[in-house]
A and B are shown apart, each in its own frame.
Chain A
Amino acid sequence: MSRLRYIIPLGVFALLVAVLAIGIRQSPDKDLIPSPLIGKPAPAFSLPSLTDPGHRVSSAQLLGHWYLFNVWGTWCVSCRMEHEMLLKIKQSRVIPLVGLDWKDDQADALSFLKDAGDPYATIAVDRDGSEAIMWGVYGAPETFLVNPQGVVVYKYIGPITEEAWQQEILPRLPTGQTAATPSSS
Chain B
Amino acid sequence: MIPELGEFTLILAMLLAALQAFFGIVGPALKRERWIAAVTPAVTGQCVMVAASMGCLVASFVANDFSVAYVAENSNSALPLFYRVAAVWGSHSGSLILWIFLLACWSVAAAFGTTRLPKAFASRVLGVLGLISFGFLLYTLATSNPFLRLDPPWPDGESLNPILQDPGLAGHPPILYTGYVGLAVAFAFAGAAMLEGRLDKDWARWTRPWTTAAWAFLTCGIALGSWWAYYTLGWGGFWFWDPVENASFMPWLMATALIHSLAVTEKRGLFKSWTLLLAVLAFSLSLVGTFLVRSGVLVSVHSFAASPTRGTFILAFLIVMIGGALALYAWRAPLLKSEAGFELTARESFLLFNNILLVTACATVFAGTMAPLISSALNLGKLSVGAPYFNPTFLLSMLPLLALLSVGIHARWKRGKLSDRARPIILTLIAAAVIGCAVIFGLFTGGRVLGPVGVALGSWIILSSLIDPIDRLRRHITIPRAVLGMTLAHIGLGIFVISITAVEGFTAEHDVALAVGSTAQMGAYQFQFEGVQPIEGPNYSGVGGTVIVTRNGAPVAIMHPEKRQYWVQHTVTTASAIKMYRTSNVLVALGQDLGNGSWSLRLQVRPLVSFIWLAAFIMATGGMVAISDRRYRLREAEEPAVSPAGALTRGEAG
> Are any A and B Cβ atoms less than 8 Å apart in their complex?
yes
Which residues does A use to contact B, with CB under 8 Å?
2-3, 6-7, 9-10, 13-14, 16-28, 30-31, 33-34
Would you call A17 and B319 a contact (CB within 8 A)? yes
A21 to B298, CA, bound (A): 13
Would you call A9 and B306 a contact (CB within 8 A)? no
B38 at interface by CB-CB < 8 Å = no
A3 to B654, CA, bound (A): 11
A30 closest partner in B (C-beta): B299
B381 at interface by CB-CB < 8 Å = yes
Would you call B382 and A27 a contact (CB within 8 A)? no
B197 at interface by CB-CB < 8 Å = no
Would you call B308 and A27 a contact (CB within 8 A)? yes
- Collect the chain A residues with CB atoms within 8 Å of residue B376's CB: 23, 26, 30
- Collect the chain B residues with CB atoms within 8 Å of residue A17's CB: 315, 318-319, 323
| B interface residues, how many (CB within 8 angstroms) | 34
Whether A24 contacts B281 in the complex (CB less than 8 A), given A9-B329, A10-B327, A13-B326, comes out as: no
B373 at interface by CB-CB < 8 Å = yes
Q: Chain B 297-319, CB within 8 Å of chain A: the 1/0 string? A: 11100000010100110010011
A16 to B287, CA, bound (A): 13
Would you call B373 and A20 a contact (CB within 8 A)? yes
- Collect the chain A residues with CB atoms within 8 Å of residue B291's CB: 20
B333 at interface by CB-CB < 8 Å = yes
Shortest Cβ distance from A11 into chain B, in angstroms?
Answer: 9
Would you call A6 and B329 a contact (CB within 8 A)? yes
Shortest Cβ distance from B322 into chain A, in angstroms?
Answer: 6
Shortest Cβ distance from B347 into chain A, in angstroms?
Answer: 25
- Most-contacted residue by chain A among B297, B315, B323 (CB, 10 A): B297
Main secondary structure of the interface of A (DSSP, over half): helix
Shortest Cβ distance from A45 into chain B, in angstroms?
Answer: 26
Shortest Cβ distance from B18 into chain A, in angstroms?
Answer: 25
A18 closest partner in B (C-beta): B377
A23 to B306, CA, bound (A): 13
Shortest Cβ distance from A56 into chain B, in angstroms?
Answer: 32
- Collect the chain A residues with CB atoms within 8 Å of residue B284's CB: 13
Whether A9 contacts B281 in the complex (CB less than 8 A), given A3-B334, A20-B373, comes out as: yes
B370 at interface by CB-CB < 8 Å = yes
B535 at interface by CB-CB < 8 Å = no
Would you call A27 and B311 a contact (CB within 8 A)? yes
A26 to B298, CA, bound (A): 10
- Collect the chain B residues with CB atoms within 8 Å of residue A31's CB: 299
B273 at interface by CB-CB < 8 Å = yes
B45 at interface by CB-CB < 8 Å = no
Would you call A19 and B315 a contact (CB within 8 A)? no
Would you call B322 and A13 a contact (CB within 8 A)? yes
B295 at interface by CB-CB < 8 Å = yes
- Total number of residue pairs linking A and B with CB closer than 8 Å: 78
Shortest Cβ distance from A141 into chain B, in angstroms?
Answer: 21
B315 closest partner in A (C-beta): A20
- Collect the chain B residues with CB atoms within 8 Å of residue A22's CB: 377
Would you call B330 and A6 a contact (CB within 8 A)? yes
- Collect the chain B residues with CB atoms within 8 Å of residue A19's CB: 370, 373-374, 377
A122 to B373, CA, bound (A): 41
A112 to B329, CA, bound (A): 67
Whether A13 contacts B312 in the complex (CB less than 8 A), given A6-B273, A6-B330, A27-B297, comes out as: no
- Collect the chain A residues with CB atoms within 8 Å of residue B377's CB: 18-19, 22-23, 26
Whether A24 contacts B326 in the complex (CB less than 8 A), given A30-B296, A30-B299, A31-B299, comes out as: no
- Collect the chain A residues with CB atoms within 8 Å of residue B326's CB: 9-10, 13
B418 at interface by CB-CB < 8 Å = no
Q: Which of A6, A18, A20 contacts B334 (CB 8 A)?
A: A6
B277 at interface by CB-CB < 8 Å = yes
B336 closest partner in A (C-beta): A6
Would you call B382 and A34 a contact (CB within 8 A)? yes
Would you call A23 and B297 a contact (CB within 8 A)? yes
A33 to B273, CA, bound (A): 44
- Most-contacted residue by chain B among A3, A7, A9, A33 (CB, 10 A): A9
Would you call B273 and A27 a contact (CB within 8 A)? no
- Most-contacted residue by chain A among B281, B308, B330 (CB, 10 A): B330
Closest 5 CB pairs of A and B: A23-B297, A22-B377, A10-B326, A24-B311, A7-B330
Shortest Cβ distance from A39 into chain B, in angstroms?
Answer: 14
Shortest Cβ distance from A15 into chain B, in angstroms?
Answer: 9
A-B contact pairs, 15 of them (CB 8 A): A9-B330, A10-B327, A13-B284, A13-B323, A16-B370, A17-B315, A17-B323, A23-B377, A24-B308, A24-B311, A24-B315, A26-B377, A28-B308, A30-B296, A30-B376
A24 to B374, CA, bound (A): 12
Q: Chain B 483-497, CB within 8 Å of chain A: the 1/0 string? A: 000000000000000
19 additional contacts, CB 8 Å, given A20-B297, A20-B318, A23-B376?
A: A7-B330, A9-B281, A10-B330, A13-B322, A13-B326, A20-B291, A20-B295, A20-B315, A20-B373, A22-B377, A23-B297, A23-B373, A24-B297, A24-B312, A27-B295, A27-B296, A30-B297, A30-B299, A34-B382
A25 to B373, CA, bound (A): 11
- Collect the chain A residues with CB atoms within 8 Å of residue B297's CB: 20, 23-24, 26-27, 30
Whether A10 contacts B329 in the complex (CB less than 8 A), given A20-B297, A34-B382, comes out as: yes
- Collect the chain A residues with CB atoms within 8 Å of residue B312's CB: 24
Q: Which of B346-387 contact A (CB under 8 A)?
A: 370, 373-374, 376-377, 381-382
B323 closest partner in A (C-beta): A13
- Collect the chain B residues with CB atoms within 8 Å of residue A26's CB: 297, 376-377
Shortest Cβ distance from A24 into chain B, in angstroms?
Answer: 4
Shortest Cβ distance from B316 into chain A, in angstroms?
Answer: 10
Q: Chain B 574-599, CB within 8 Å of chain A: the 1/0 string? A: 00000000000000000000000000
- Most-contacted residue by chain B among A2, A17, A26, A30 (CB, 10 A): A30
Would you call A10 and B299 a contact (CB within 8 A)? no
A20 to B327, CA, bound (A): 19
- Collect the chain B residues with CB atoms within 8 Å of residue A28's CB: 308
B307 closest partner in A (C-beta): A27
- Collect the chain A residues with CB atoms within 8 Å of residue B374's CB: 19
A3 to B331, CA, bound (A): 9
Shortest Cβ distance from A32 into chain B, in angstroms?
Answer: 9
Would you call B306 and A27 a contact (CB within 8 A)? yes
A9 closest partner in B (C-beta): B326
- Most-contacted residue by chain B among A6, A20, A34 (CB, 10 A): A20
Shortest Cβ distance from B318 into chain A, in angstroms?
Answer: 7
Q: Chain B 386-430, CB within 8 Å of chain A: the 1/0 string? A: 000000000000000000000000000000000000000000000
- Collect the chain B residues with CB atoms within 8 Å of residue A6's CB: 273, 329-330, 333-334
- Most-contacted residue by chain A among B284, B329, B333, B377 (CB, 10 A): B377
Shortest Cβ distance from B601 into chain A, in angstroms?
Answer: 24
Q: Which of B326-342 contact A (CB under 8 A)?
A: 326-327, 329-330, 333-334
Shortest Cβ distance from A175 into chain B, in angstroms?
Answer: 30
- Most-contacted residue by chain A among B288, B306, B376 (CB, 10 A): B376
A10 to B327, CA, bound (A): 6
Would you call B315 and A9 a contact (CB within 8 A)? no
A22 to B376, CA, bound (A): 9
- Collect the chain A residues with CB atoms within 8 Å of residue B327's CB: 10
A26 closest partner in B (C-beta): B376
- Most-contacted residue by chain B among A7, A14, A33 (CB, 10 A): A7
Q: Chain B 52-70, CB within 8 Å of chain A: the 1/0 string? A: 0000000000000000000
A3 closest partner in B (C-beta): B334
Q: Chain B 4-47, CB within 8 Å of chain A: the 1/0 string? A: 00000000000000000000000000000000000000000000
